[in-house]
């Protein structure tokens, strides 16, 4: 195998802004210009996806940056076809960098005669010739077990902890981290421990899918700065109702930190009209103009973390070091 002086990154159309941010950070760390591999990823008139790579990738360690966000099927097919193109071009190893892993909410059979779509997607990724997956905040940790190849699942909580400690540095003793449901307690507890603050839970009861009938706050939130933590915000109905419930329970103000801002349908309008002071999301999904212009939505970058993870994978060093506050503080130095 030839001596590879730098990792090679290629991007689909799902989140070019993030991909370009990652290569800028990689360039900074490497002390040399690292650009995206020159390629075209486009559609024929019938919407078939076509990929052509214009650079030699034989024997290279390739990283495909492509979240499988909306439109999920198109972006997933782009990822698979890019992987096939690289495999047939004799790339040595292909890592799929999937900041947002679509279909992750279909991780189990909740009723008879339903699919486990996350497992199907895992099978498709492996069949396409991908050797490794790098993602962030999988909706369910067991999805890592759906793959028969290495999966590195990064966490947003160290970055969120940096942001919270910076935004509320003089009010740390008044912060309470809130899980919007019982299933998210582990995620909320992790952030609460990193910050060193209290934890509360909003227990919700559904009468049917998509509709929350009742919410109850477990824990003392009186006069507290409540920070709701979750992995996905889709239509924002549950999130906004949880914020209202916290205010009714006496919370001084409510903020939310959500990893993946899907924000479909009426989400942005609901968030702007809600009692939440702010919603903080990552750029794992390319933000729309409406998201960028929303008065109370703020975006924290993930490019520094993904760039370091890519370099660690390329160098064969630890990715789990990025779970630590001290490591992330150095990577995000100057931002917080």
Q: Are residues 276 and 185 in the same domain?
A: yes
Q: Are residues 39 and 119 in the same domain?
A: yes
Q: Are residues 13 and 147 in the same domain?
A: yes
pTM: 0.94
Helix (H, G, I), strand (E, B) or coil at 156: coil
- 253's torsion region: left (phi>0), alpha (psi -120 to 50) or beta? beta
Does residue 149 belong to any structural domain of this protein? yes
- Any binding-site annotation on 237? yes
Tokens 């009692």, residue located: 275
How do residues 48-90 score in pLDDT, each as one tens digit? 999 999 999 999 999 999 999 999 999 999 999 999 999 999 9
Does residue 84 belong to any structural domain of this protein? yes
Residue 210 has pLDDT above 80, yes or no: no
Q: Are residues 57 and 162 in the same domain?
A: no
Does residue 1 belong to any structural domain of this protein? no
Q: Are residues 120 and 163 in the same domain?
A: no
- Any binding-site annotation on 21? no
Tokens 């227990």, residue located: 203
- Any binding-site annotation on 92? no
How do residues 301-334 score in pLDDT, each as one tens digit? 999 999 999 999 999 999 998 988 788 888 898 7
Q: What pLDDT does 1 receive?
A: 43
How do residues 221-253 score in pLDDT, each as one tens digit? 999 999 999 999 999 999 999 999 999 999 999
Among candidate residues 8, 172, 174, 204, the one labeled active-site is: 204
Q: Are residues 36 and 121 in the same domain?
A: yes
- Any binding-site annotation on 107? no
Q: Which residue has the higher pLDDT, 59 or 29?
A: 59
Q: Are residues 250 and 294 in the same domain?
A: yes
Q: Are residues 191 and 138 in the same domain?
A: no
Burial of 214 (0-12, 13-18, 19+ CB in 10 A): exposed
| Structure tokens that stand for 57 in this block | 């990738």
Q: Are residues 199 and 226 in the same domain?
A: yes
Q: Are residues 129 and 185 in the same domain?
A: no
Does residue 197 belong to any structural domain of this protein? yes
Count of domains in the chain?
Answer: 2
8 is catalytic: no
| Structure tokens that stand for 287 in this block | 């933000």
Q: Are residues 275 and 207 in the same domain?
A: yes
Does residue 336 belong to any structural domain of this protein? no
Domain of residue 194 covers 157-300
Q: Are residues 151 and 273 in the same domain?
A: no
CATH classification at residue 114:
3.40.50.2020
C-alpha to C-alpha distance for 301 and 135, rounded to whole angstroms: 15
């Amino acid at each position: 195998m030839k001596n590879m002086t730098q990792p090679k990154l290629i991007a689909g159309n799902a989140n070019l802004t993030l991909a370009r941010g990652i290569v800028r950070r990689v360039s900074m760390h490497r002390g040399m210009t690292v650009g995206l591999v020159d390629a075209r990823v486009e559609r024929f008139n019938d919407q078939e996806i076509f990929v052509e790579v214009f650079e030699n990738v034989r024997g290279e360690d390739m990283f495909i940056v492509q979240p499988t966000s909306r439109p999920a099927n198109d972006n997933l097919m782009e990822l698979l076809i890019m992987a096939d193109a690289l495999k047939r071009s004799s790339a040595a190893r292909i890592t799929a960098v999937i900041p947002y892993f679509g279909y992750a909410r279909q991780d189990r059979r909740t009723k008879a005669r339903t699919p486990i779509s996350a497992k199907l997607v895992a099978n498709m990724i492996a069949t396409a010739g991908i050797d490794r997956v790098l993602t962030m905040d999988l909706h369910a940790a067991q999805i890592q077990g759906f793959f028969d190849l290495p999966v590195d699942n990064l966490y947003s909580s160290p970055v969120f902890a940096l942001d919270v400690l910076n935004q509320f540095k003089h009010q740390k003793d008044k912060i309470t981290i809130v899980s919007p449901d019982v299933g998210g307690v582990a995620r909320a507890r992790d952030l609460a421990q990193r910050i060193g603050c209290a934890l509360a839970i909003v227990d919700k009861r559904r009468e049917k899918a998509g509709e929350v009938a009742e919410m109850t706050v477990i824990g003392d939130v009186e006069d507290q700065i409540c920070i709701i933590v979750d992995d996905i915000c889709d239509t924002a109905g549950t999130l906004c109702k949880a914020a209202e419930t916290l205010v009714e329970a006496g919370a001084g103000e409510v903020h939310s930190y959500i990893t993946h801002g899907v924000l479909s349908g009426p989400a942005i309008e609901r968030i702007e009209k809600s009692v939440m002071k702010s919603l903080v999301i990552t750029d794992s999904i390319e933000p729309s103009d409406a998201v960028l212009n929303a008065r109370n939505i703020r975006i924290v970058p993930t490019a520094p973390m993904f760039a370091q993870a890519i370099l660690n994978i390329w160098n064969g060093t630890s990715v789990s070091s990025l779970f630590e506050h001290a490591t992330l503080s150095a990577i995000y130095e100057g931002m917080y």
